[in-house]
Structure 1
Amino acid sequence: MSLRNSVSLLGYTGKEVEIVNFENGGLKATVSLATHDHYTNAKGEKIEETQWHSLVAFGKTAEIFQKYVIKGKEIAINGKLTYRSYEDKDGVKRYITEIRVEELVLLGGK
């Protein structure tokens, strides 16, 4: 994995993994991942922020997601940041930022 475009995250999945089977036998897995950050604001109050990330995996990594990752599962991932765009049904251009997972570590119980 190149360090020029490298993302490492530790968090909890926010939904069940969605699987797409391609005609050529390939597999794609998508899931959201929540990461949390804590800080103290100027008033001395402890603030927790949650950030949501869109993950996508292909091939063997997608198979692991399909078999072992459920909603609420704690995971660690390494991957790279990707961007893509598409036109919705109304002709409006939409942009998507995803993390393409190259390595997955299952954490926590079960």
Structure 2
Amino acid sequence: MSIGSMNRVTLIGYVGKDPEIRTTQAGKEVASFSLSTKERWNGQDHTEWHKVVVINLGLIQIIKSYVHKGILVAVEGQLKTRQYQDKKGNDRYTTEVIVPAFTGSLTMLGGKK
């Protein structure tokens, strides 16, 4: 029996700064923003920052109108790691939460914290 695999991530957190909307060379819009999640261990808060990239055109329109720094959102997507070169030519890696066109979601949960 073969066991399948799944790449699915769900985050609930606060938008760290206003989303950035850019247009790719192919003419498609992409939205990106940072998202903070917080956990408490041993009486101390621990914050993680996540880069979220939205390629769902319908969600991008909602992001343009309603998503801003400080709002609480739930995001569902996939983790993707990509390689790039920095200004000095060094290889770097970044992991992002990609919210794809058909299987991703973004839900606004409340106002600013």
Which bracket does the TM-score occupy, shorter chain normalised? 0.7 to 0.9
Residue in 2 aligned with 1:100?
98
Q: Secondary structure at the match of 1:30?
A: strand
1:67 aligned onto 2:65: yes
- Kept after mapping to 1: 8 A contact 2:70/2:111: no
Aligned CA-pair RMSD: 1.9
TM-score normalised to structure 1 length: 0.86
Work out the number of aligned pairs and report it: 104
Structure 1, 56-65 or 22-31: larger mean CA deviation: 22-31
**Deviations 1:13-49 (CA, angstroms, capped at 9, x unpaired):** 0011001023544110000000000122xxxxx1110
Q: Secondary structure at the match of 1:89?
A: coil
Decide which of 49, 52, 59 is 2:49's aligned counterpart. 52
CA shift, 1:108, in A, is 0.8
Q: Secondary structure at the match of 2:97?
A: strand
- Structure 1 unaligned spans of 5+: 41-45
Q: Percentage identity across aligned positions?
A: 40
Q: Secondary structure at the match of 2:76?
A: strand
Q: In 2, distance between residues paired with 1:23 and 1:68? A: 26
Residues 1-110 of structure 1: matches in 2 within 5 Å? 4-22=6-24, 24-40=26-42, 46-58=43-55, 59-101=57-99, 102-109=104-111
Q: Secondary structure at the match of 1:5?
A: coil
